[in-house]
Structure 1
Amino acid sequence: MESAGIRSRSIRFSIIAIAVLLRRTARCQNTAIELPGCRAHAMDLAQFGGVGDGIASNTNAFRDAIANLSCYASDGGSMLVVPAGRWLTGPFNITASHFTLYLEENAEILASTDIDEYPIVAPLPSYGRGRDTPGGRYSNFIWGSNLTDVIITGQNGTINGQGQFWWDKFHKKELNSTRGYLLELMFSEYIVISNLTFVNSSAWNLHPIYCNNVIISGVTVLAPVDSPNTDGINPDSCSNVLIEDSFVVSGDDCIAIKSGWDEYGISFGRPSEHILIRRFSCISPDSAVIALGSEMSGGIQDVRAENIVAINSESAVRIKTGAGRGGFVRDIFVRGVTLHTMKYVFWITGNYGDHPDDKWDPEALPEITRINYSDIFAENVTMAARLEGIENDTFTDICISNVTLGLSAKPKKVQWSCALVEGQSSDVSPRACDELPEMGTPCAYPPDLMPIEHVKVGWCNSY
């Protein structure tokens, strides 16, 4: 029996069942946790006075709808449907667990450009300050904390940050606080973001932070390639993350894996780990396809990426770190990469500065080890690699194998620039630097499945 005010809908959408990684001392064991395909209660935004004309404000409609549907978290969960139309709104907080935000085909949520609708909130504890400026930051557009089982999905609807407003203010130095992000979920678990388009974020687009068991599947992220800091997907101090079947065009890194900034990240101590990226495409002329860091002070480990395609990007995989970062980047495995028009294919930066304040410790040196790249084809490459460690902190066990790089019409004279790194290579053209001698042994790629790969696709046929 449906509650009063709940009307039936016929909606077909895919939900993911997540396999959860549970650590038991030195062994990993799998426990399947299945998110429910159907919610017991569903309502659409129009029932709360929403108007999808792109002009009327729906700030109160979104907040009222989510507050109402939060009542059903322990009664089969709930879903808010955003119908076709253009729904202008200020920022809103997802407060309900066991909740789905569903955008129908041709539905577009538009972020308000009234700066007064964005309150200043505290900085993230693993960063200690805003990323753009000291102090706090403007509210994210869509955000939530301490949630379980939240799904943000649809029929390829759009969430539009209307970022030009923020980019102009950023370039003119008119902002006294850090820009918020388009979607940020904190301290949450069992999160699915799928089948949506995210455009023109004020800064980073998708930012799960301090989360467990996150799937991002079938999303498109778009921003002008000259827009400032519009990273596509940034898992940050998260465990068990799957990013698949997605496409990003951005003004910064397409994917950036992070874990906190200098002394704040070291103190918070929560790594990003057990992350799988597959079937992913990127365009980013001034940044990386996949970046590790630069904020990596809580550590990054057990990252796998395969079946990656990139066009016109600055670097394929870039590790960004430096003295003061501490932490580690280890057990990184990348294979099956196809690239066209690249400045650098491999780039490890050990002199990345940009510290939050003057309290960082220059003796906090990062550990960079067990980095593996294999089965990579690229054309129109300017320079094969820049691999730069840190004095008294050599980056070790770097392996590169089965790589063919076609050079651009005006390549760099020196194709491999290596310093303070150690490792090996196999079947690499042009030949790798002396620090990575030819050993004739292909780089390893773990044969086992990651726990997050144990997924099932379910269907909900009616509401």
Structure 2
Amino acid sequence: MNKILKLSFGLLAIGNCALAQFPGINLPKVKQVGFKTDTFNIKQYNAKGDGITLNTKSINDAITACSTKGGGVVLVQGGVWLTGPIDLKSNVNLHLDRDAVLLFTKDFDQYPIVEGTYEGLPAGRCKSPISGKDLQNIAITGSGIIDGNGDAWRMVKKDKLSENQWQDKVNSGGVLSADKKTWYPTQKSFNGSQATDPGVLKDGRTIKDFEVYKDFLRPNLVVLNNCKKVLLEGVTFQNSPAWNLHPFLCADVTLRAVTVKNPWYAQNGDGIDLESSTNALIENSTFDVGDDGICIKSGRDEAGRKLGKPTENVIVRNCVVYHAHGGFVIGSEMSGGAKNIFVYNCSFLGTDVGLRFKTARGRGGVVENIYVTNINMKDIGAEAILFDMYYMAKDPVVLAGEKREAPKVEALPVTEATPKFTDFHVSNIVCNGAATALFIRGLPEMNISGIYLNNLVIKAKKGVVCTEATGVYIKNLQLITEETNPVISIDNSQSINLDNITYNANSNLLFRVSGSKTENVAVSNTSTAAVKNKVEFKDGATAKSITIK
């Protein structure tokens, strides 16, 4: 028990103190859990770790007994514990020993459709393997493995598998799409792919209406709804049917020293989606997943704006993200807003995008007061740093043979559905390898604004692309790029300040300045002696648009 008590109680709360990384700024305070010493071993409730016996009732009975008697530790010892959905209870620490595997059954009948949310909208989904609602003081700790058996649920694109892997899928049964490029595990799963807004609770729909494509409504592995004081520590969470970890409307969430894994081809296989939650700490954890790694969300479109609950006061530190669509991500479901987010001392190795801030028209919401520093990146498939208000729900890296058209640029009226990105502070970034160093793309009616970038060294194929932005301040940027025509592109943007920019000697073109709205571009402490051409003007931009001192 002493080991378990140390896990539960030996935790330092994050106080209101300023760190050297963010001078003058007090970081959020995250309250921590605490548990009684009483232990409830699931074996005492007739659970068997033989990988065959279905232990759903035994495990839930142990959790209920623990909570009813004032709380404590529910102990999962070594073994393979096959189970259906588990319901957490207040004041319970579900603890897995090192050699314990909590394995969720492939029997879809064990997962009824329940009301919840998915991708920011009210939705019917299959019940999550682990869930809790309106709870206080809960934890999942230890060093064991929680496996969601996600391969049984997931559809898979042929382009994401080797030929042998694809043939294994096809030979296992299931259903192919009409173009033979996507495999679905069951007919119901395929039916859902053909439905309009499958699972979304609107227009008088009820969860009974979704039974015809139930298998398509893949559950998130762990869903915590409106819970206070949450700890996830030490455990490996893997193989989720959809998202892996989903705290929603929670407060005081700590994620510490966990490992989160999914196959790289796992569609919607996010690591953690922290949604509409307040006061959170994500630290010393490792992610290797099929979609976004560490992601901040707050609802989608009108539903998210109506809820109006931002994700705020969040610390992310000392984490490593391997494969993921984005290392650290905000959006695209951010309609309730996001603010006061602090990210530091993290490494992104092989992610599609490093820092990924995404939204789209229709979302609304304000993302502001974002602070990121001391980030190391390597082998980034697309952009090292991305701000994009034209999110199109596609993989960041274009697949072989895939063609994508640039979005049509037109100014629309500003409404409550117009999103806003402002006040981002990004510093001390090192990236060895990316397709594009920095990509900023705002809307004509709502420019991305207040972007402060300082001390960046980025090796990439392409340099900087800045479109429809106002108030971008880049200082001490070293670019090593393969393409040098141009190194930096600025389009329809205002008040762009570039200070101490270094780049490849003998580059073909330093700046391409375009658009009749581009003005007040100021360049200082930047040598132009070695470049073949300093500036090219296009589409209404003139020499008055830029000043090089």
Rounded to whole Å, the distance in 1 between the matches of 2:388 and 2:29 is: 38
Maintained 8 Å contact 2:453/2:475: yes
| Residue number in structure 2 paired with 1:293 | 331
**1:70 shift after superposition:** 2.1
Q: Which residue does 1:262 correspond to in 2?
A: 301
Q: List gaps (5 residues or longer) in structure 1.
A: 1-7, 22-26, 131-135, 355-360, 442-463
Among 62, 65, 78, the alignment partner of 1:65 is 62
Q: 1:220 to 1:34 in 2, by over 3 A?
A: closer
Per the alignment, residue 272 of structure 2 pairs with: 233
- Range that drifts further, 292-301 or 121-130: 121-130
Q: Give the AA of the match of 2:151.
A: Q
1:433 Cα deviation from its structure 2 partner: 4.8
Contact 1:17–1:35 at 8 Å: present in 2 too?
no
Residue 427 of structure 2 corresponds to which residue in structure 1? Answer: 374
Which of 334, 349, 361 pairs up with 2:388?
A: 349
Alignment of 1:38-437 (within 5 A): 38-73=35-70, 77-94=71-88, 96-124=89-117, 127-130=120-123, 136-154=124-142, 156-168=143-155, 171-172=183-184, 173-174=189-190, 175=192, 176-177=213-214, 178-284=217-323, 287-342=325-380, 343-353=382-392, 363=415, 364-407=417-460, 411-412=461-462, 415-422=463-470, 423-430=472-479, 433-434=489-490, 435=493, 436-437=496-497
- Structure with the larger helix share: 2
Q: Percent identity?
A: 29
Per the alignment, in what secondary structure is the counterpart of residue 50 of structure 1?
Answer: coil
1:192 shift after superposition: 0.6
- Please give the residue correspondences for 1:28-39 in structure 2 after superposition, counting only pairs within 5 Å: 35-36=33-34, 38-39=35-36
Q: For the Cα contact (< 8 Å) 1:153–1:196, is it kept in 2?
A: yes
Q: Aligned-pair distance for 1:9?
A: 8.7
3-state SS of 1:66 partner: helix
Give me the whole-angstrom Cα distance separating, in 2, the residues matched to 1:20 and 1:226: 39
| 3-state DSSP of counterpart to 1:234 | strand
Inter-partner Cα distance in structure 2 for 1:257 and 1:179: 20
Post-superposition Cα deviations, 1:358-395, rounded to whole Å, max 9, x if no partner, equal: xxx98311121001111011112221122110121011
* Structure 2 counterpart of 1:102, one-letter code: H
Bigger radius of gyration: 2
CA positional deviation for 1:20:
8.0
Shift of 1:18: 3.8
Q: Contact conserved, 2:367 with 2:421, CA < 8 A, in 1?
A: yes
For structure 2, the 5+ residue unaligned runs are 17-24, 156-173, 175-181, 193-212, 394-412, 480-486, 502-549
1:371 maps to amino acid: F
2:33–2:231 CA contact under 8 A, matched in 1 = no
Q: Tell me by how many angstroms 1:353 deviates.
A: 4.8
Gap change, CA 1:328 and 1:47, over 3 Å in 2: same
Q: In the alignment, residue 207 of structure 1 is paired with which amino acid? A: H
Q: Is the 8 A contact 1:126 1:268 kept in 2?
A: no
Give the SS at the match of 2:152. helix
- Provide closer, same or farther for how the CA distance between residues 126 and 341 of structure 1 changes in structure 2, counting only shifts above 3 A: closer
Q: Residues 254 and 29 from structure 1, CA distance in 2 versus in 1: closer, same or farther, beyond 3 angstroms?
A: closer
Residue 456 of structure 1 is matched in structure 2 by none
Q: Secondary structure of 2:117's partner?
A: coil
> What's the TM-score once normalised by structure 2's chain length?
0.70
- Deviation (angstroms), 1:14: 1.5
Deviations 1:317-357 (A, max 9, x none): 11111111001111111110111111211111211256xxx
User: Partner of 2:514 in structure 1?
Assistant: none
Structure 1 pair 362–227 and aligned structure 2 pair: CA distance change class (3 A) = farther
User: Is the contact made by 2:28 and 2:279 (CA closer than 8 Å) also made in structure 1?
Assistant: no
Greater RCO structure (CA 8 Å; 6+ sep): 1
User: Contact 1:248–1:283 at 8 Å: present in 2 too?
Assistant: yes
What amino acid sits opposite 2:337 in the alignment? G
Alignment of 1:423-462 (within 5 A): 423-430=472-479, 433-434=489-490, 435=493, 436-439=496-499
Q: Tell me how far apart the structure 1 counterparts of residues 354 and 69 of structure 2 sit (CA, whole Å).
A: 45
- Asked if structure 2 preserves the Cα contact closer than 8 Å seen for 1:17 and 1:33, the reply is no
Q: Residue deviations 1:213-239, cap 9 Å, x none? A: 010000001111111111111110011
Q: How many residues align?
A: 406
Quote how far apart the aligned CAs of 1:63 are. 1.7
Q: Deviations over 1:408-460 (max 9, x none)?
A: xxx24xx222111121100112275545421469xxxxxxxxxxxxxxxxxxx
SS at match of 2:319: strand
Are the equivalent residues in 1 in contact too, given 2:356–2:386 (CA < 8 A)? yes
How big is the shift at 1:69? 1.6
1:235 is matched by which residue type in structure 2?
A: L
Q: In structure 2, do the counterparts of structure 1 residues 18 and 389 end up closer, same or farther at CA, with 3 Å as the change threshold?
A: same
Partner SS, residue 235 of structure 1? strand
One-letter amino acid matched to 1:303 = I
Cα RMSD over matched residues?
2.5
CA separation of 1:129 and 1:171: change in aligned 2, threshold 3 A:
farther
Q: 2:30·2:280 contact (CA, 8 Å) conserved in 1?
A: no
Q: Is the 8 A contact 2:139 2:231 kept in 1?
A: yes
Counterpart CA distance in 2 for 1:396 and 1:314 is: 24
Q: Structure 2: how far apart are the matches of 1:56 and 1:201? A: 21
Is the CA contact (8 Å cut-off) linking 2:30 and 2:254 kept in structure 1? no
1:111 deviates by 0.7
1:126–1:267 CA contact under 8 A, matched in 2? no
Q: CA deviation at 1:10?
A: 7.3
3-state DSSP of counterpart to 2:73:
strand
- Judging changes above 3 Å, is the alpha-carbon distance between structure 1 residues 406 and 126 closer, same or farther for their aligned structure 2 residues? closer
Residues 421/281 of structure 1: CA separation in 2 closer, same or farther (3 Å cut): same
Distance 1:129 1:47, change over 3 A: same
The alpha-carbon deviation at position 17 of structure 1 amounts to 5.1
Which residue identity lines up with residue 96 of structure 2 in the other structure? L
Are 1:388 and 1:418, in contact at CA under 8 Å, matched by a contact in 2?
A: yes
1:124 and 1:397 mapped to 2: Cα distance? 32
Q: What do residues 137-183 of structure 1 show as CA deviations (whole Å, max 9, x unaligned)?
A: 111110001111111101x1000011100114794243524211111
Letter in 2 for 1:164: D
d(CA) in 2 for partners of 1:126, 1:284: 21
Q: How far apart, CA to CA, are the structure 1 residues paired with 2:222 and 2:144?
A: 15
Q: Which residue of 1 aligns with 2:523?
A: none
Higher strand share: 1
Residues 324 and 362 in structure 1, CA contact (< 8 A), matched pair in contact too: no
Cα distance in 2 between the residues matched to 1:241 and 1:123: 22
- SS of residue matched to 1:57: coil
Cross-structure match for 1:14:
7
Name 1:444's counterpart in structure 2: none
Contact 1:259 1:300 in 2 (8 A): yes
